[in-house]
Amino acid sequence: MKKEFNTIASLVEKKSKVLDVGCGDGELMKYINENITNDIRGLEISKSNVQKCVAKGLTVIEGDAEKDLKQFPKSSFDYVILSQTLQAFLDPENVISELLRVGKKAIVTIPNFGYWKVRIHLLFRGTMPITKDLPNEWYNTPNLHMCTIKDFVNYCNKKNIKINSKNLSYKNLFSQLGIFVIEK
Amino acid sequence: MNDIKKVKKLIIDKPLKLDCGQTISNFPLAYETYGKLNDKRNNAILAFHALTGDQFASGVNPITNKEGWWNYLIGPGKAIDTQKYFVICANVIGGCMGSYGPSNINPKTNKNFGTEFPVITINDMVNAQYHLLEFFKIEKLFSVLGGSMGGMQVLQFVSNFPDKSETAIPIACTHSHSAQNIALNELGRQSIMADHNWSNGFYEESNKPPAKGLAVARMAAHITYLSKKGLQEKFGRKLQERDDLKFGFDADFQIESYLRHQGSVFVDRFDANSYLYITRAMDYFDLSKQFDGNLSKAFTKTNTKFFIISFTSDWLYPTSENREIVIALNSIGKDVGFAEITSDKGHDSFLLDVPDFLNTIKNFLNTSYNKQNEKRI
**A121 lies in some domain:** no
Residue B372 has what pLDDT? Answer: 86
Query: Are residues A55 and B338, on separate chains, in Cβ contact within 8 Å?
Result: no
pLDDT, tens only, B283-312: 999 999 999 999 999 999 999 999 999 999
Say whether pLDDT at A169 is over 90.
no
Q: What does the alpha-carbon distance between residue A116 and residue B20 come to, in Å, rounded to a whole number?
A: 74
Look at residues B232, B256, B278 and tell me which one is the last residue of a structural domain.
Answer: B278
- Using a CB-CB distance cutoff of 8 angstroms, which residues of chain B are in contact with residue A78? none
**How many domains does one find in chain A?**
1
Q: Could you tell me if residue A86 is inside a domain? A: yes
What is residue B96's predicted lDDT score, i.e. its pLDDT? 96
CB contact (8 A) between residue B360 and residue A54: yes
Catalytic residues of B: 148, 314, 347
A131 domain residue, yes or no: no
Same domain assignment for residues B7 and B94: yes
Please give the Cα distance from A28 to A10 (Å, whole number): 11
pLDDT attached to residue B5: 81
A38 pLDDT above the threshold of 70: yes
- Characterize the bridge pairing of strands B165-171 and B141-147: parallel
Choose the weakest-confidence range: A82-96, B21-35, B89-103, B310-324.
A82-96
Question: Are B339 and A41 an interchain contact pair (Cβ–Cβ within 8 Å)?
Answer: no
User: Looking at the domain assignment, is residue A124 inside a domain?
Assistant: no
Distance, in Å, from the CA atom of B118 to the CA atom of B129, rounded to the nearest integer, reads 17
B2: confidence class by pLDDT, cuts 50, 70, 90: low
Determine the average pLDDT of the residues in B24-49: 98
* Domain end among B230, B261, B278: B278
Q: Which is nearest to A110 in space by CA: A81, A78, A74?
A: A81
Binding-site residues on chain A for chain B (CB distance < 8 A): 41, 47, 50-51, 54-57, 59-63, 71-73, 76
Supply the pLDDT for residue A168. Answer: 77
Q: Cα–Cα distance between A84 and B290 in angstroms, integer?
A: 43
B6 & B93 share domain: yes
Mean pLDDT confidence for B250-279: 97
The half-sphere exposure of A61 on its side-chain side, counting CA atoms within 13 A, is 29
- CA of A1 to nearest chain B CA: how many angstroms apart? 22
Determine the structural domain holding residue A56 and report its residue range. 3-114+147-183
How far apart are the C-alpha atoms of A73 and B102, rounded to whole Å? 46
Closest chain B residue to the Cα of A72, Cα to Cα: B331
Q: Is the dihedral of CA B68, B74, B76, B77 positive or negative?
A: positive
Do residues B128 and B224 share a domain? no
Are B23 and B168 part of one and the same domain?
A: yes
Minimal CA separation from A58 to chain B, in Å: 8
- Residues ≥6 apart with Cβ < 8 Å to A28: A1, A2, A5, A8, A9, A20, A81, A83
Mean pLDDT, all residues of chain B: 96
Q: Which residues of B touch A (CB under 8 A)?
A: 305, 323, 326-327, 330-333, 335-342, 356, 359-360, 363-364, 366-368, 370-371
**Rounded mean pLDDT, B30-48:** 98
pLDDT in tens, B106-145: 999 999 999 999 999 999 999 999 999 999 999 999 999 9
With pLDDT > 70 as the criterion, what percentage of chain B qualifies? 99
Which pLDDT score, from 0 to 100, does residue A2 have? 80
Cα-flanking dihedrals φ and ψ of residue A109, to 5°? Answer: -120, 145
- How many C-beta neighbours within 10 Å does residue B289 have? 13
Residues of B in contact with A60 (CB under 8 A): 337-339
The sign of the torsion formed by the CA atoms of B34, B40, B42, B43 equals: negative
* Predicted-complex ipTM score: 0.90
pLDDT in tens, B76-87: 999 999 999 999
User: B308 and B196 share a domain?
Assistant: no
Same structural domain for residues B238 and B337?
A: no
Domain span at residue B149 reads: 2-177+285-376
Same domain, B134 and B203: no
What are the chain B neighbours of A71 within 8 Å (beta carbons)? 326-327, 330-331
State the CB neighbour count (10 A cutoff) for residue B351.
21
Say yes or no to pLDDT of A172 above 90. no
Q: What is the value of pTM for the model shown?
A: 0.94
Residues B166 and B40 in one domain: yes
**Closest approach of A40 to chain B, Cα-based (Å):** 10
Determine the Cα–Cα distance for residues B11 and B28; give it in Å rounded to an integer.
4
Is residue B3's pLDDT more than 80? no
Confidence of residue A52 (pLDDT cuts 50, 70, 90): very high
Cβ contact, residue pair A61, B356, below 8 Å: no
pLDDT score recorded for residue A131:
86
Does A165 score more than 80 pLDDT? no
**Structural domain ending residue among the three candidates B248, B278, B308:** B278
Average per-residue pLDDT in chain A?
93
Residue A125 lies in a domain: no
Q: What is the CATH number of the domain that holds A98?
A: 3.40.50.150
Per residue in A139-157, pLDDT tens? 999 999 999 999 999 999 9
Query: Does residue B219 sit in the same domain as residue B113?
Result: no
CA pair distance B320, B343, nearest whole angstrom? 16
Q: What's the domain count of chain B?
A: 2
Please check whether residue A130 lies inside any domain of the structure.
no
Q: Residue range A49-71: average pLDDT? A: 95
Q: Which amino acid is at B140?
A: K
Model confidence pLDDT, tens digit, residues B215-263: 999 999 999 999 999 999 999 999 999 999 999 999 999 999 999 999 9
* Per-residue pLDDT tens over the stretch A100-140: 999 999 999 999 999 999 999 999 999 999 988 889 999 99
| CATH code of B251's domain | 1.10.1740.110
Q: Is A135 among the domain residues?
A: no
A24 occurs within a structural domain: yes
Could you tell me if B348 and B226 lie in one domain?
no
Tell me, what's the pLDDT at A164? 79
B194 and B51 fall within a common domain? no
Residue B376 predicted with pLDDT over 90: no
- Do residues B260 and B122 both lie within one domain? no
| Nearest-CA distance B377 → chain A (Å) | 17
